[in-house]
Chains A and B, each alone.
Chain A
Amino acid sequence: MAVSISILILFLIVYLGATFYVAYLGYRKNSQTEGYMLAGRGVHPAVMALSYGAAFISTSAIIGFGGMAASLGMGLLWLVFMNIFFGIFIAFVVFGPRTRRMGLNLGAITYPEFIGKRFQSKFIQAFSGLLIGVFMPLYASSVIIGAGRFLETTLGLNYNIALIIFTIIIASYVIKGGLLSVMYVDAMQAVLMLFGMGFLLIYTYSMLGGVTGAHQALTDMANLVPPALAAQGHQGWTSMPSFGSPIWWTMVSTIIMGVGIGVLAQPQLAVRFMTVKDDRSLKRAVAVGGPFLLMMVGVAYAIGALSNVYFYKTMGIISLQAVPDGNTDLIMPAFLNHAMPEMFVMLFMLCLLSAAMSTAAAQFHTMGTAIGYDVYQQTIMKGKSKATVHVTKIGIAFTILAAVILAYILPGSIIARATAMFMGLCTSAFLPLFIGALFWKRTTKAGATASLVIGSLSSLFWLVFVHAKEAVPLKICMAIFGKETLLAGTWPLVDPILIATPLSLIALVAVSLMTPQLSPEFLKKVFRFRFEDEDEENSEKVSSNATDSAGV
């Protein structure tokens, strides 16, 4: 990007200085295991909401999906609604309070431990810890690759060095400071992102003739849709794709359903519900979380689509023609460079760096605790090792290393699909189980286990053998069966989430109804309502009781 390197480096130094200072503030407050793993369960609602939002929104949500909106149009705005309604409102008001209370009742400090203890199953804790520890590095590698490429293009750094520097900076405060440092830094970065996206929104609309004027100009460009896209169902940037067409399927199944609902079962997000002190904090956090997501994804998708108007007015071409090989990932950077003032481009770079850092930090902490705490300390060592924080730190370092290695060895086509793959896998494996854990007392240990195993295996099967976007580049189906996908027709377009999640749900209900319920005393303890000010004193007692009953 054509910006003054010296000014940008100055911006970066100030930014990193602020990052480490804020991380240090979080570190100073951390002293015990709960502090390291759950930020001490007393985080301010606004910090929690901003941290949740910043961890949720990665660079790819802004650059990748913004570029996709430039290509496919404003139909993606349904995803914004889904993100706000499910990702914030339902998550914070319906899922959050129960997760927080149950987490305290069970004495759980990680997501795998939460569902493991809820169903008195060490297997569930270990299996979900492994699932996160094995597949999340893939998702994390896509984020650090994005950041590495970003630093390469903006600062002219060598890509390999950029990737290592980025990882070391985040790893240092995640490992040293724990979740409170991560959340404080997230919140600071979220504020920066708000400024960046706010400016982008106002500047673009005023440049293109106001809200209605800009949209009308985009509507009038429907005849400029490339024939190849029109043949796949594209009907213009302010129209939904034709029903049942390939673009419709991509938009509806993968993007809207996959990423929209998938967020409810993301371990790195769900664990944040347990960081606040009471239910009211979660309800208050909604006030910050909803508008924050609108300003992130809403602005990115609207502006992404409107970039077509800008390029058409100034260069007589659509966005896809303004970048090499029609690469949608390059549309937002190209638009920013062409249309925005230079100082803003620099501010926006920090905004993007923030998005990448906050997502990566959340991933590093979650996958590290899954491997270090849930798999090693709780399963392999059977909880005997006392050095919980120390072991978790080693787990974090280990999984970060795995993500970096994956970033170097895996082909770009797989990495590019990693976000959707991980979100889909989490939804199928965890969502029915999580809903059962929170809302259906009849869910049994066997039902939960069946749901977890069937959801994850069927999702992986569909990814590897049927869903064309992963099955074709993975080449495993080709190697075994001699064809790119096992099924033909529309099936290879259908996202794994639409197949595996119903299967997982059916397994949960059917097996639960056939097996004996958990003991009423245990359920009473798990579901009991707590008064906020009793939390601390009861936490210790419940924690020891829950440990006694776990592993049955």
Chain B
Amino acid sequence: MFGIDDPFIWLAYLASILSALGCLVYGAYHWRGGDEEQTVKSSVKKKVTQDQ
């Protein structure tokens, strides 16, 4: 694969790229979902305060 015969090398090549892409997707997901998460946390906090 990719002109590399040894699977341990092309696996490393692929793993490096996929892990970086995975980081990108993970971070982007939390970037977009940020406001939603914040709203949920704020409402939970509000409830906790009311309970007290």
Give A residues with C-beta under 8 Å from B. 73-75, 77-78, 80-81, 84-85, 88-89, 93, 211-219, 236, 238-240, 280, 283-291, 293-294, 298, 302, 531-534
Contact = CB atoms under 8 A, between A and B. Distances in A.
Contacts of A213: 3
Given A74-B12, A238-B9, A290-B24, A85 B19 contact: yes
A293 B3 CA distance: 24
B2 A212 contact: yes
Nearest to A280: B34
B51 interface: no
14 contacts: A78-B15, A84-B20, A211-B3, A214-B3, A239-B8, A239-B9, A287-B26, A287-B28, A287-B30, A290-B19, A290-B24, A291-B20, A291-B23, A291-B24
Interface string B1-28: 0111110110011011101111111111
B3 A212 contact: yes
Q: Sort A-B residue pairs by CB-CB distance and give the 10 closest, nearest first.
A: A287-B27, A290-B23, A215-B3, A216-B3, A294-B20, A77-B12, A283-B30, A286-B27, A80-B16, A212-B3
User: Which of B21, B22, B30 counts the most A-chain CB atoms under 10 A from its CB?
Assistant: B30
Contact of A284 (B4, B9, B16, B31): B31
B38 interface: yes
B23 A219 contact: no
A288 B4 CA distance: 29
A193 to B, nearest CB: 15
A215 B12 contact: no
B3 A219 contact: yes
Contacts of B45: 531, 533-534
B52 to A, nearest CB: 13
Contact of A84 (B6, B16, B27): B16
Given A214-B3, A239-B6, A285-B27, A74 B13 contact: yes
Given A85-B19, A284-B30, A238 B5 contact: yes
B41 A287 contact: no
> Interface of chain A, helix or strand or loop or mixed?
helix
Contact of B12 (A81, A88, A284): A81
A284 B19 contact: no
A96 to B, nearest CB: 12
A89 B26 contact: yes
A370 B12 CA distance: 37
Contacts of A290: 19-24, 27
Contact of A287 (B5, B12, B23, B37): B23
A221 to B, nearest CB: 12
Nearest to B6: A239
A219 B4 contact: yes
A322 to B, nearest CB: 22
A288 B12 contact: no
A186 to B, nearest CB: 18
Contact of B19 (A89, A288, A532): A89
B8 A288 contact: no
A73 B22 CA distance: 25
Given A81-B16, A280-B30, A531-B41, A286 B23 contact: yes
Nearest to B30: A283
Contacts of A240: 6, 8-9
Nearest to B25: A287
A84 B25 CA distance: 14
A309 to B, nearest CB: 11
Nearest to A240: B8
Given A215-B3, A219-B4, A287 B31 contact: yes
Contacts of A236: 6
A218 to B, nearest CB: 8
Nearest to A278: B38
A287 B28 CA distance: 6
B2 A215 contact: yes
Given A238-B6, A239-B6, A531-B45, A77 B13 contact: yes
B9 A294 contact: no
Contacts of B23: 84, 88-89, 286-287, 289-291
Contacts of B6: 236, 238-240
A440 to B, nearest CB: 26
Contact of B5 (A89, A219, A286): A219
Contact of A239 (B5, B17, B30, B31): B5
A77 B27 contact: no
A211 B30 CA distance: 32
A73 B12 CA distance: 12
Contacts of B2: 211-212, 215
Contact of B27 (A75, A78, A288, A293): A288
A462 B44 CA distance: 52
A74 B24 CA distance: 24
A230 B30 CA distance: 48
Given A215-B2, A238-B5, A298-B20, A280 B38 contact: yes
Contacts of B13: 74, 77, 302
A531 B17 CA distance: 35
Contacts of B19: 81, 84-85, 89, 290, 294
A494 B41 CA distance: 48
